[in-house]
Structure formats: C-alpha cells, structure tokens
A and B are shown apart, each in its own frame.
Chain A
Amino acid sequence: MRITTGMMSNKYIKNLGKSANELYYLHDRVATGRKFFTGSEDPVGAIKAYKLRREYRLTQMYDSSISDVESFYTSAETNLMHISDNMERVYTSYLRGITGTMSADDREAIAKELDNLQQSILTSLNTKFEDKYVFGGTSREEIPFTLDKSTDPPTLMFKGLSVSDPKNAADFEKLKKEVINVDLGLGMKFDDSGNVNQDTVFNISMSGIKFMGYGTETVDIPSGQIEISNDLYSLIGEIKDKLRDPDFSMEDISPYIEKYEQQKKQVLVNATDIGAKSNYLEFLSLRNTSNQDNLNAKILDVEYVDSAEAIMDFSMQRYAYNAALSMGNRILENSFIDFMR
C-alpha cells in the first residue's frame, strides 16, 4: 500500500487522540474509584448497580425502623418492669405481712403506700415515647387511662370506657387485639383483599388494657361469693378499702391479696414477654446489618475499581501514551526532502 505523508500524520493524530482519551478515562477511574460513569459504558453493570442500590436503601430503612422499634420496646419494658418492681416491693414489704391483729394506724400506712402504687401504675401506663402513648394501642392523641372522678371511688376508664363495667368486655377484647404493624424487612405481604399477612410484619401495638386487666372475677369465700376487680387499679383500690374497713378481718382481705399476687405475676410475665421480643429485634438488627454488609460488598464489586488495579492500568496507559508521543516525533521528523542535496 502506498503510504503518504498526510496518511501518516492523520493516523498518528487519530491514534494519539485515542490514547489520550483512554488516559483521561483511566485517570477518572483512579480519581473517583468508579468503574463506569454512565450506564451506557457498562449496561449490565448498571442494571446490577441499580438493583443493589435499591436493596441497600431498603436495608438502611429497615435499620432505622428496627432501632426505633427497639427504643420503643425498651421504653415499654422499662415501664412495665417499674410497675412490676413496685408491686413486688409493696407486696414483700407490706401486704405479705398483713395480719388480722394489725392496728388501724398500721393498716392506714399500708393503704397510703397503695395509694402511691395506684398513682405510679397509672403514670407508667400513660407514659409517652416520642409524642406517642406507649400503651395507647392505635390511638395517638387520646390518653389511654383516665379516672372518672364523678363516682366514689373514681372509676378507671380506658379510652373512655369503664374498666369495671362488664358490658365493655367485648370492646376491650377488640382493643386488646389492635395492631400497629411495622415493616422490618420480614417480607411484608398483603393478601388479595388488602389485609396484611401478620407473619410478615412486626406488631408494636401494646394496648394498656392487656396489662391492666378489666372486668371482675367471682371468687368463692366461706361466707358466699364476692366480685373482685381484675384490673390492677381497682384491685388495689379494693385492697385499700378493706384495709380501711373498721371491721377489718384477715378472711375478708386474703382473696384480694391472692388476686394481687396473681396479677403481679402476670405483669412480670408481660414484661419478660416484651424482653423476649427485644431480643428478637436485636436478632433482626444483626441479620439486617449483615445483609447490608453483603450488599455493600457487592456494590463495591460492581461499581468500584480495585485502586491498585486502576493505578496500574493508568500507569500502563501513560507509558503507552508517552511512547506514542516519542514515536510520533521519529516518524514525522524526516522525509526524503531532508536528505536531498
């Protein structure tokens, strides 16, 4: 083939341009650590990258949800443990020691203590976490437990319904089952009718009525039958009444104290139940973190270069570019004209 001066310089310029382009591209790689800068450079990589990024963002969201739910649970657990501890303390220090021969003054002192316990139980169950009542179920604004002072003794109300009224039992049964579901990455699924599959979400609803109890229980005593309140507040109120009763007798009060013992255990069971769920949350958090680490490793693999390799590539290209520059000088330097005499 006939090669002319113009062809040589044209091809040289073209190749030099190519080489310079490649050099700057590799430089960008070293400088940013990225494998590609637009999707069209590596469409398959881009498809993978978008998918991985989406999954990674999800794990980030799960991460924050899990830690929020964890602190919510911690708050609930603390409050229930507080109630349980108080009940235990009152029981061991006072109630256990009640005898039929106690003076009215001694009994009054215990009753005072029970007043405090009532108060502290109410405060604990009406506690707020981040502007939300922990034991309010699906309500946000409404205070869970209130006292209806129009009666004597005041009636305990849960969301406006009297706790002692047996007519409300069905409503409380419903309120107990209220759910607040949170998606913690358990693969949330809805069925065709738009109801969530409960196994795929995490229920954080803790309706206070579940811990407080409601309605009454009929208990047999030698002299017949009595109605004892199931809810802690009224139960303690009834114990107080018995203590302040001038005709105080051990037989009268002991069914109530037995009930107290039962309820105390129940509170502890509930508190440990929440503790168990906290452990589960911790497990979820760990699992999520390891997912996140895996995804991160994959993203690095798909989108980012090994910097040693990138620098190596760049150096090789620089070498090639320099070689091209010096070659150009040699090739284009002389022609026949330069050697004519």
Chain B
Amino acid sequence: MLRPTFLGFRTATSGLKINQSIMDIVGQNMSNINTKGYTRQRLDVTSLGYNTNSIKFGPTGVVIGQGVHANGTSQCRDAFLDLRYRAQAAKSGSEQVQLEALGDLEKIMDEINNDKINEQFSNLVEQLRNLTEHPSDPVMEGVVRTSAQMLTQMFNNYSNQINTVRDQQYDYLKDGAVVKVNQLMENIAGLNKQIRDDNISGNPALELNDQRNLMIDELADYMDIEVVTTQVNIGAGKQIDELSIVLRGQTYKEGKETKQIKLIDNDKFGELNINEELTNDNKVVLQFKDTEEKFNSAFNSKINGGQIEGYLKFLNGKGDFAEPSPGTFQDEKGILYYRSMLDTLASTFAKAMNDANVDVDGHKELFDARGGGTVITAENIKISQDWLNSTGSYLVNTTIPSEGNDNTGATDNILRMIDLFNKDYNFKTPGGADIFKGKFQEFLTHTITGLNLHKADTQTSYDTYSEGQFQLDYARSSMSSVDLNEEGVNLLQYSKSYNASARLMTVLDEMLDALINKMAM
C-alpha cells in the first residue's frame, strides 16, 4: 500500500486537538467541582482508521489507523439511580412534612417538660378535696371555680393553638408546596423546549440537562413522579429524546382508554390547584389539570407520596373520627383526629360534672358552650354564667340532706365529684364508635402518648427514608461528581499526551527534512 507523505501530520494534529479538548473538559469539571447538580463530563473519543472493504481498489498490506476522533461530549450519569433516588425522595418528603407538623403539635400537647392540662385536672381534684374540708365555703368554692376556669381556658388554648398549626400547614401547602409544584412544572417544561431545540441543532446541552435534573429531583420531593423519555425522529436519521413526567402508577379512564396523568409532556405542563378555603371542619381537596387539559377532577386519591401527600395526611386525617365512608387520607391520624380527641374529653368531662351538680331544685350547670350551642368542644368549653355570677355556694355539697337542719357541712356530693375523676368512661366518637375506656386523665395521657408514638414512628420512617435518600445520592455522586485527584491525574496525563503529539509532529518534520533535504544530495 502506498502511504501518503503527510499522513502522520493528520494523526499528530488529531492528537493535539483531542488532548486540548480533553484539557478543556478537565477545566470545566474542575471549575464546577462545587456546582450543585453538576454532572461530570467526558469527551467520547474513538480511534480513527480510514478503511475500505474492497481489496481490488483499497490498500493492501498493513493497515494503520490515522489518529483519534471526538464524537461528542457526554455525562457520567445513571438514569436508574435517578429513578430510585426520586422514589425515595417522595417517601421522605411525605414523612418530613408530617414529622414537622407533628412536632408542632407535640410542642402544644406534650407535658413531659412542663405541667399543663394534666396538672390542671389534678389541681381541680385537689381544690375539690380542699372543699371537702370546708364545704359550702364561698371562698373555697371560689378557688374551685378558678381552677375549673383555668382548665377550660387551657382547653380553649390548646384548641386555638391546634387550629393555628392547622392554618399554618394549610398555608404551607397552599402558598408553598402547590405554588412550588406549579413553578417547577412550568420551568421544567421550559427547559424541555430549550434542550430539544439545542439537541436538534446538535448541541447536547449538558448544563441545561443538569439544571433540569435538579428541578426534577426537587419535584420528586413533592410528588411521586416517574420520568418518561421517548425517542423522536427529527429527520436526516437523527433522533432526540423528549421528556415527560407522569404520576407513578396513577391512571384515569377516558372512555375505554386508561391514561396516565401527565404533569409535564415535553413543553406542555399541568396545573395544580387547591380548591377550598379552610373552614372549621372541611378537608383540603386538590384539583389537577393535566397537560391535555383532560384530567380535572378531585386529585386527592391520586396523590401517593411526596410532601403533598404529607400535607394531605396531616390536614385531612381524622383517624377514629373518620366518616363512615372515609375520603382519601381520612383514616390517617391527622390534626383533626387530635383536635376531636380533645373535644371528646372536654364534652365528656363537662357532661359528667354537670350531671353531678344536681340538688333538689334540679340541675345547676357548671360548664357550657361559649356561644350557646349544645355541643361542648375544647374550643368553646367555659364556666357557666350562673356559676360565674354566683356569690354564695353553687356547688351541690349533698344530695341526701337530713331534714330541716343546716347541711352545708356535708360532703357526700363533693366526694362524688372527686370520684368522677376516678371513674372509667367510655369515650366515643360523635358517631358512637368506642375510642377508649378510662379516666379523664388517662384519656388525655392516651391522646398525648398516642401523639408521641405517632411522632416517634414518623421520625423512624423519616430517618430510614432520608438515610436511603442520602445513600442513593451518595451512589449518584460516586458516578457523577468531580474528583480532584482524578482531574489532577488527568491534567498530568493529558498534558503529557499533548506533548507527545507535539513531539510526534516535530519528529515527523525531522523525518521529512531528512527525506526531502538530505537524501541523495
């Protein structure tokens, strides 16, 4: 085979060029070592050898390659790790929201570090016991009344604080999570369009891909999503990827067709809406318009994972108080459950006390509802106006008075009231389902420690999921992040090979010099 005279120069040039490019990529990698979401890049390189299959017209003899060629730049990234990371992010996102909200609730109700309502119950008993030593004494009764009033105020206070937490969480969902999800969907769709355009013109748009992946990671924290890429033929034998995002495993029926709920379809994006203002007892309902503007019904049942799920569980969960055919998440123990537990305690307590304060003249109510309703809740429980206005003795001290003499010193009914705190009650939901059997304070402790356990459980789940998330991110980093040592080695290695290519050039030049100028002279 005949070797073209200047063949070696091309090989040397390609070596110089490629090594220069690799050095540029090393530079890009090193300068982005701390950039969030940056994926390590590499130059895809192949060795070059112009060949032909035809022996007749092609070269004969030894065939030698002619240098190196760059096919393009690409990223070191594993899509499967992304998938697992995002699934885990949805789980830990849901637990995280619940953990924080339950933490707020625990701060209100927990009594380990300071005495609150539990102590006030004991205080009321103590004052009643003091009254047995001075029955009918207006001063001592005043002390009892103050203690009872403190108790009702504590109930009110708990209820108000719980409602504040509820409003807060609703705001976080409405003005935080929902807005953020919509923003992310819009931005990702925008990037989709840009990346697609770049791809068509041959630009891999790696940096934009990094940005998009970051946003998808973030979106995965809010909802359990799945990324779907489809290859699209753009003509001239070129194919590009188009990206859409759907809710994992959630479908809806349209006619006979089962369709996936698409959050993002290439450059189109859906819209998440929260449809109600928060009133006393309602639940939060989300709506979603998907990219085809077809799915637009109540969205709650389609939510499975992510911060959004965490909010819905916490805000809509009623636990034992769920309606007979509970909506999505109503079975969870959310804030309405804990509020209803306190309401149950307040109403059971008020009823028992009222029933105990009866003398020959009939009922003398001790507690009633603020605003005059018949249903006593933790929010509206208060001392009755009659008791508040009474100047003399209002508590019935005996129900078995001996005829015709002063019985103001008898204590039997006060003891009966004290015994109310030692009695077991069947605490029931308004629907009549049993919740708990025990004393007032036991029920309260049951509620509080139930919350403690709930939070501890959530903490454990969150720790597990977030540790898993960290590990997956760690694995992703292992593949995608930049390492200084490596890049340092690359610097040395590629500067050496650059020098080698340059050296090849000089040597070739010397060879040609020898051939042309010194031969046969």
Q: A2-B478, A190-B419 are in contact. List 4 more A-B contacts (CB 8 A).
A: A47-B445, A49-B112, A132-B409, A139-B405
Are A43 and B456 touching (Cβ within 8 A)? yes
Q: For the complex, is A40 an interface residue (Cβ under 8 Å from B)?
A: yes
Are B456 and A1 touching (Cβ within 8 A)? no
Residue of B nearest to A35 (CB): B112
Residues of chain A contacted by B199 (CB below 8 angstroms): none
Are A132 and B134 touching (Cβ within 8 A)? yes
Known: A1-B478, A201-B415. A38 touches B133 (CB 8 A): no
Q: For the complex, is A7 an interface residue (Cβ under 8 Å from B)?
A: yes
How many angstroms from the CA of A182 to the CA of B416 in the assembled complex? 11
Mark B307-326 against chain A: 1 for CB-CB distance below 8 A, else 0.
00000000000000000000
Mark B106-136 against chain A: 1 for CB-CB distance below 8 A, else 0.
1000111100001100100110010011111
Q: For the complex, is A141 an interface residue (Cβ under 8 Å from B)?
A: yes
Residues of chain A contacted by B172 (CB below 8 angstroms): none
Are B448 and A39 touching (Cβ within 8 A)? yes
Scan residues 52-88 of chain A and give those whose CB is less than 8 A from a CB of chain B: 53-54, 57-58, 61, 65, 68
> When the two chains form the complex, which single residue of A2, A141, A190 contacts B408, counting CB atoms closer than 8 Å?
A141
Scan residues 465-485 of chain B and give those whose CB is less than 8 A from a CB of chain A: 470, 474-475, 477-479, 481-485
Are A40 and B455 touching (Cβ within 8 A)? yes
Report the minimum CB–CB distance from B335 to chain A (whole Å).
Answer: 16
Are B419 and A180 touching (Cβ within 8 A)? no
Are A180 and B410 touching (Cβ within 8 A)? yes
Are A39 and B451 touching (Cβ within 8 A)? yes
Residue of A nearest to B450 (CB): A43
Known: A2-B483, A336-B488, A337-B488. A140 touches B415 (CB 8 A): no
> When the two chains form the complex, which single residue of B406, B407, B411 contacts A181, counting CB atoms closer than 8 Å?
B411
Known: A38-B113, A183-B415. A139 touches B478 (CB 8 A): no
Residues of chain B contacted by A246 (CB below 8 angstroms): none
How many angstroms from the CA of A179 to the CA of B118 in the assembled complex? 32
Q: For the complex, is A298 an interface residue (Cβ under 8 Å from B)?
A: no
How many angstroms from the CA of A6 to the CA of B35 in the assembled complex? 10
Going nearest first, the 3 A-B pairs with the smallest beta carbon separation are A39-B452, A336-B488, A4-B483
Residue of B nearest to A37 (CB): B113
Residue of B nearest to A194 (CB): B416
Residue of A nearest to B483 (CB): A4
Report the minimum CB–CB distance from A148 to chain B (whole Å).
Answer: 16
Listed by A's residue number, 12 A-B pairs whose Cβ atoms lie within 8 Å are A4-B486, A10-B477, A40-B102, A57-B122, A61-B129, A130-B133, A137-B409, A140-B135, A140-B137, A142-B406, A174-B403, A336-B485
Residues of chain B contacted by A1 (CB below 8 angstroms): 475, 478
Are A5 and B482 touching (Cβ within 8 A)? yes
Q: For the complex, is A213 an interface residue (Cβ under 8 Å from B)?
A: no
Mark B122-166 against chain A: 1 for CB-CB distance below 8 A, else 0.
100110010011111100000000000000000000000000000
Known: A61-B125, A180-B409, A336-B484. A3 touches B33 (CB 8 A): no
Scan residues 322-361 of chain B and give those whose CB is less than 8 A from a CB of chain A: none
Which range holds the interface residue count of chain A? 35 or more
Residues of chain A contacted by B194 (CB below 8 angstroms): none
Residues of chain B contacted by A335 (CB below 8 angstroms): 484-485, 488
Q: For the complex, is A50 an interface residue (Cβ under 8 Å from B)?
A: yes
Are A188 and B129 touching (Cβ within 8 A)? no
Q: For the complex, is A314 an interface residue (Cβ under 8 Å from B)?
A: no
Residue of B nearest to A11 (CB): B474
Are A182 and B133 touching (Cβ within 8 A)? yes
Report the minimum CB–CB distance from B417 to chain A (whole Å).
Answer: 11
Q: For the complex, is A316 an interface residue (Cβ under 8 Å from B)?
A: no
Residues of chain B contacted by A2 (CB below 8 angstroms): 478-479, 483
Report the minimum CB–CB distance from B99 to chain A (whole Å).
Answer: 10
How many angstroms from the CA of A41 to the CA of B407 in the assembled complex? 52
**Interface residue SS majority, chain B:** helix
Known: A4-B482, A38-B110, A40-B452. A159 touches B406 (CB 8 A): yes
How many angstroms from the CA of A183 to the CA of B402 in the assembled complex? 22
**Chain B interface residue count, Cβ-Cβ cutoff 8 angstroms:** 63
Q: For the complex, is A313 an interface residue (Cβ under 8 Å from B)?
A: no
Are B488 and A139 touching (Cβ within 8 A)? no
Are B106 and A140 touching (Cβ within 8 A)? no
Are B33 and A37 touching (Cβ within 8 A)? no
Q: For the complex, is A252 an interface residue (Cβ under 8 Å from B)?
A: no
Residue of B nearest to A161 (CB): B405
Q: For the complex, is A208 an interface residue (Cβ under 8 Å from B)?
A: no
Scan residues 14-52 of chain A and give those whose CB is less than 8 A from a CB of chain B: 14, 34, 36-41, 43, 46-47, 49-51
Report the minimum CB–CB distance from B265 to chain A (whole Å).
Answer: 34
Scan residues 402-440 of chain B and give those whose CB is less than 8 A from a CB of chain A: 402-403, 405-412, 415-416, 418-419, 422
Residues of chain A contacted by B478 (CB below 8 angstroms): 1-4, 7
Report the minimum CB–CB distance from B408 to chain A (whole Å).
Answer: 4
Residues of chain A contacted by B133 (CB below 8 angstroms): 65, 68, 130, 182
Known: A7-B477, A61-B129, A130-B134. A40 touches B445 (CB 8 A): no
Most B CB within 10 A of own CB, among A2, A137, A178, A201: A2
How many angstroms from the CA of A50 to the CA of B106 in the assembled complex? 15
Residue of A nearest to B420 (CB): A190
Are A194 and B399 touching (Cβ within 8 A)? yes
Are A6 and B452 touching (Cβ within 8 A)? no
> When the two chains form the complex, which single residue of A11, A58, A175, A340 contacts B402, counting CB atoms closer than 8 Å?
A175
Are B418 and A183 touching (Cβ within 8 A)? yes
Residue of B nearest to A139 (CB): B406
Known: A38-B452, A43-B452, A188-B422. A6 touches B112 (CB 8 A): no
Q: For the complex, is B449 an interface residue (Cβ under 8 Å from A)?
A: yes
Q: For the complex, is B492 an interface residue (Cβ under 8 Å from A)?
A: yes
Residues of chain B contacted by A183 (CB below 8 angstroms): 129, 132, 415, 418
Are A5 and B485 touching (Cβ within 8 A)? yes
Residues of chain B contacted by A34 (CB below 8 angstroms): 113
Are B455 and A131 touching (Cβ within 8 A)? no
Q: For the complex, is B2 an interface residue (Cβ under 8 Å from A)?
A: no
Are B411 and A180 touching (Cβ within 8 A)? yes
Are B122 and A54 touching (Cβ within 8 A)? yes
Known: A174-B402, A336-B489. A4 touches B477 (CB 8 A): yes
Residues of chain A contacted by B399 (CB below 8 angstroms): 194
Residues of chain A contacted by B407 (CB below 8 angstroms): 138-139
Residues of chain A contacted by B33 (CB below 8 angstroms): 5-6
How many angstroms from the CA of A1 to the CA of B34 in the assembled complex? 20
Q: For the complex, is A160 an interface residue (Cβ under 8 Å from B)?
A: yes
Q: For the complex, is B453 an interface residue (Cβ under 8 Å from A)?
A: yes
